[in-house]
Amino acid sequence: MTPTDQKAFPVSWDAFHRDARALAWRLSSIGGFSAIVAVTRGGLVPAGVVARELGIRVIDTICVASYHEENQRGDVVVLKPLSETILARPSEEVLVIDDLVDTGATAKVVRALLPKAHFATVYAKPQGRPMVDTFVTEVSQDTWIFFPWDTGLSFQAPISAHGA
């Protein structure tokens, strides 16, 4: 499916920041995290917000690609592996952050590397939801989330072809 085949769910910067802080709030009651791994690219922004809110200063990335040409899903490829700093820690102290779990394919790859890490996303779709431990908002599998870094301000046509 492509974005035009799915329900649109546009997320503003304000809404995303609010949702990322809500994720941090949920994670604060769990505690015990000494490091964050952001799944790039989507996990960079929420990882920064969560790191600030929880006072975590050790942040690493795992660079994973599963979408090609922005809307064509392909094989999951690890472009940059985890650092020795993260791999030397007990994985139960590591918090993995991503913006969205869709099918769970990316999460499976990361979980194989950090099996006891806590995996958290801002948004979750039903197919990938079993792969995450904590999330804020569930959306339907046929929803395409338009993140604020992917969009610009422009006129949006009404949902109904007849207008309002």
- Domain of 52 in residue numbering reads as 3-148
Evaluate whether residue 118 is within a structural domain.
yes
- Mean pLDDT for each consecutive 10-residue tract of the chain (164 residues)? 74 97 97 96 97 97 78 80 95 97 95 96 98 97 94 78 61
Evaluate whether residue 157 is within a structural domain.
no
Rounded Cα distance between 106 and 87, Å, is 18
Tell me if 103 is assigned to a ligand binding site.
yes
Question: Which CATH number fits the domain that encloses residue 96?
Answer: 3.40.50.2020
How many domains is the chain built from?
1
Rounded Cα distance between 82 and 64, Å, is 11
Evaluate whether residue 104 is within a structural domain.
yes
3-state SS string for 54-99: HCCCCEEEEEEEEEECCCEEEEEEEEECCCHHHHCCCHHHEEEEEE
Active-site residue, 60 included: no
Q: State pLDDT tens for residues 35-79.
A: 999 999 999 999 999 999 999 999 999 999 876 655 566 788 999
Please tell me which residue in 99, 133, 142, 150 is annotated as part of the active site: 99
Active-site residue, 150 included: no
Active-site residue, 99 included: yes
Evaluate whether residue 130 is within a structural domain.
yes
Tell me if 42 is assigned to a ligand binding site.
yes
Evaluate whether residue 120 is within a structural domain.
yes
Evaluate whether residue 46 is within a structural domain.
yes
Tell me if 5 is assigned to a ligand binding site.
no
Q: What is the pLDDT of residue 146?
A: 94
Q: What is the pLDDT of residue 143?
A: 96
Evaluate whether residue 135 is within a structural domain.
yes
Q: In the structure encoding, which two tokens stand for residue 32, read together? A: 């015990």
Evaluate whether residue 155 is within a structural domain.
no
Tell me if 128 is assigned to a ligand binding site.
no
Q: What is the pTM of this model?
A: 0.87
Q: Treating both helix axes as pointing N-terminal to C-terminal, what angle do 44-54 and 13-28 enclose, rounded to 10 degrees?
A: 50
Contact 73, 67 (CB under 8 A): yes
